[in-house]
Amino acid sequence: MKDRLALALILDAERSGALKPGQTVVEATSGNTGVALAMVCAARGYPFVATMAESFSIERRKLMRAYGAKVILTPAAERGTGMVRRAQELAEKHGWFLARQFDSPANPSWHRNTTAAEIIGDFAGRRLDHFVSGWGTGGTLTGVGEVLKLARPDVKITAAEPQVAALLQGEEWHPHKIQGWTPDFVPSVLNREVTDDILKIDDLLARNTALRLAREEGIFVGVSAGATAAAALRVAESAAKGSVILCMLPDTGERYLSTFLFEDVIDGSDDEWLAAQ
């Protein structure tokens, strides 16, 4: 998911001339966009610096550094706003290119032209009743949502957000554990008008659903994907019989091994289980 966003931001900046050859790219990220930008920048010859709240997973930091990026941590108490402000400060001080994933029109535009186009193609001549997605930058929800509203207006679009940070429903933001979802502000690229319904998802339900996906379906995803799947299951509870529900699972579970997603998963030997056989 974020690989598409990262490529869109860099290619758009190259075309406009905003990004010069060899210029350092800097961006605030919860991790996934940062990993994607680190990869794209490495391939295209740009140094990359990520600013990231210290509360996000260690795996993401190491992945970015594996691509040669630098990671500047910001205090968890400063939330998403703090890491965005730090990126802006660094860009101004050093003359770096600020990617602005939360504000760049290239973000939803790329999803209109790729993600949404692929969905329309995959479901050509086939039933599709619901599209379910969480939101972080708002790019996927906006880009896909806007195209579906035009091409398949009967599809109901459901947005999902954390139980304790339901900003689209006018509530206050509180810390949550669904990494990648819902910073403490609503991004400017997010089009609120595309949603027909908004669901709140609890942290523990998100975690448990992610684990169920691995154990019952063989799909190993992160906690935000678990949250989105949980929202889709909730949609299914009231959907008409035979409804087709599409939900977006943005990333892989390996990026969450050090988080609460796996806090109950042992890393030693299963001797107790073996003794009981």
Tell me: the pLDDT tens digits for 200-217?
999 999 999 999 999 999
216 in the same domain as 252: yes
> Which of the listed residues 98, 133, 157 is the one where a domain comes to its end?
98
DSSP string, 211-229: HHHHHHH---B-HHHHHHH
For residue 256, the model assigns a pLDDT of 84
For residue 180, the model assigns a pLDDT of 84
For residue 50, the model assigns a pLDDT of 96
In-domain check, residue 67:
yes
Among candidate residues 29, 185, 21, 11, the one with its CA nearest the CA of residue 100: 29
141 in the same domain as 30: no
For residue 263, the model assigns a pLDDT of 85
In-domain check, residue 35:
yes
For residue 51, the model assigns a pLDDT of 96
In-domain check, residue 167:
yes
For residue 114, the model assigns a pLDDT of 94
H-helix segments, 101-222: 106-113, 115-122, 139-151, 203-217
124 in the same domain as 22: no
CATH classification at residue 72: 3.40.50.1100
187 in the same domain as 73: no
In-domain check, residue 105:
no
For residue 135, the model assigns a pLDDT of 95
139 in the same domain as 59: no
For residue 57, the model assigns a pLDDT of 81
221 in the same domain as 178: yes
In-domain check, residue 224:
yes
For residue 261, the model assigns a pLDDT of 87
243 in the same domain as 177: yes
Q: What three-state secondary structure class fits 157? A: strand
187 in the same domain as 85: no
136 in the same domain as 88: no
Which domain covers residue 6, as residue numbers? 2-98
In-domain check, residue 270:
no
Global pTM value: 0.89
In-domain check, residue 23:
yes
For residue 249, the model assigns a pLDDT of 93
Low-confidence ranges of the chain (pLDDT < 70): none
85 in the same domain as 123: no
In-domain check, residue 104:
no
123 in the same domain as 67: no
92 in the same domain as 129: no
Q: Say how many domains are in the chain.
A: 2
Distance (Å, whole) CA 142 – CA 112 = 8
Catalytic residues: 2, 224
